[in-house]
Amino acid sequence: MIEYDTDEEEIFIPAEFDKLPLVCKRHKKRLASVDLSKNSYRRLLCFECMKEENERIRNPMSNFLKNRYSIEDVISSKAIEDTRAKTIAYQEKAMQIYTDLERRINTLIDILNGLKYDIQKKVEKFIIKSSNSHLDAMITILAKFQGEKAVDEGENLEKYIKHFLAIEKESELKVMKAMHRETMFDLNALHNSLNSLQNNWRFNKSNTFSNLFP
């Protein structure tokens, strides 16, 4: 079970920062927006900057415009508090995902252990029925028949037939072989599926929660 520390030390957030007049150094006007594009030409923008950027960018629907956010939503104590709340929500959601998958995996493990037990009991039953004890008894009775130089109706014949019928026949072994093939086919398919799932979790290059939390 994964555990994570939710009692983190409180970090001081300078709320007074929000009161500072953030001014564009180029136009000496109040900053209004932050460009979060990966290859942003300029991140801190006042309204004059945005006009210049809009003229510079030919496509008005460009991602540069889509990735502009109010400066209060990015660089402020409120932005930090909002991000902290989202981070906690992400952690709780990640734990929920782990718990759901852990429960399902444990159920599958229980089913596989039950299957293993059933196969073991089936094979043990087959081996016991095909054991040498029955053959030894048949040999002993057959020796009596040989000594008497005859096979007659009676107790010895019934015992011999009883032991003979107790031994698993070829037809029953064929059933086990068929079950073996079917079980191996399904287990191989399950093995491949589990390998694929493990590789997805182990080698997924994304280190963000963007796919988990759209």
pLDDT in tens, 161-184: 988 887 766 667 788 889 999 999
Instruction: Assess contact for 61 and 99: CB atoms under 8 A.
Output: no
> Does residue 202 fall inside a structural domain?
no
- The predicted model scores a pTM of 0.59
**Phi, psi (deg, nearest 5) at residue 169:** -90, 170
The confidence score (pLDDT) of residue 209 equals 46
| Band (133; pLDDT cuts 50, 70, 90) | confident
> Does residue 70 fall inside a structural domain?
yes
> Does residue 11 fall inside a structural domain?
no
Instruction: Assess contact for 75 and 69: CB atoms under 8 A.
Output: no
Total of domains in the chain: 1
Neighbours of 126 (CB within 10 A): 15
Instruction: Assess contact for 129 and 167: CB atoms under 8 A.
Output: yes
**Phi, psi (deg, nearest 5) at residue 34:** -125, 130
> Does residue 142 fall inside a structural domain?
no
> Does residue 128 fall inside a structural domain?
no
Instruction: Assess contact for 181 and 200: CB atoms under 8 A.
Output: no
**Structural domain range at position 33:** 23-74
The confidence score (pLDDT) of residue 192 equals 94
| Band (100; pLDDT cuts 50, 70, 90) | very high
> Does residue 60 fall inside a structural domain?
yes
> Does residue 31 fall inside a structural domain?
yes
Alpha-carbon distance values, 127 to 25, 113, 164, 175 (Å): 89, 21, 14, 15
> Does residue 54 fall inside a structural domain?
yes
